[in-house]
Amino acid sequence: MVIEHTDIYTDLDIIPIYNFDKCINGELKYMYESKRGEITEEIKEQWEILYNNYCESTANSETSRYYRLIGEITWLENRLIYYPVLVNNLLKTPKKDIKPLLKEISLWKLPINLNKNIEEEINRVLKALNNSKTKLKRKINELEDLKKNNEQIKSVNISLQGQSVKIHKALGVKPNIFEDSVTTWLAYWEEIKNINSKNNG
């Protein structure tokens, strides 16, 4: 896959931890160095690659599950906000102009087939959307349980500023969340882990 844009982060060695954290929380505009640009399928694919590389680097299934849940929750919340607006716009738009709207609607995984009865199709997708609320509640509960019962997740759940303070206290370096790459950030924590292991040993 070729990325046409030149200002997109494509490597954990380059993307700042701040941008990465924003992307994890669903703000994929932070994949752009300029923080400007369309969130295309290519951008989403590139983010998936970066995120999978991160999971391999950390090799921690619980951390991976934590971030996956955050992504799923953010996506479901956004679908509940934006999808009804799109459907409402669809009903007001002349048939000759609805193609872009249908494409956007399909991105939320609830496509509408205009070859079928439109009223039945709208009722079907809105019912499915309503079922998303149950799924969202389940995911939120799963995330809360994970945060409550897992020590590693408790440390991940600290804000970047809080992590920065811990790194500074433990290593005597002053990290910069806007400039330090994900790779550098992971190296800080690996060093802290090694110091803790030696101290406990």
Block means of pLDDT (10 residues each) for the chain, length 201 residues?
62 94 88 82 88 77 75 90 93 90 90 90 93 94 81 66 89 94 90 76 50
How far CA 120 is from CA of 49, 91, 115, 124, in Å, comes to 38, 13, 11, 6
What's residue 190's pLDDT? 84
pTM of the model: 0.57
What's residue 153's pLDDT? 62
What's residue 2's pLDDT? 37
What's residue 41's pLDDT? 83
CA 52 – CA 57 distance, rounded (Å):
9
Residue 30 corresponds to which tokens in the numbers above? 């932070």
What's residue 95's pLDDT? 86
What's residue 183's pLDDT? 93
Its sign, for the CA torsion 17, 73, 29, 55, is positive
CB atoms within 10 A of CB 187: 12
Amino acid in the structure at residue 110: L
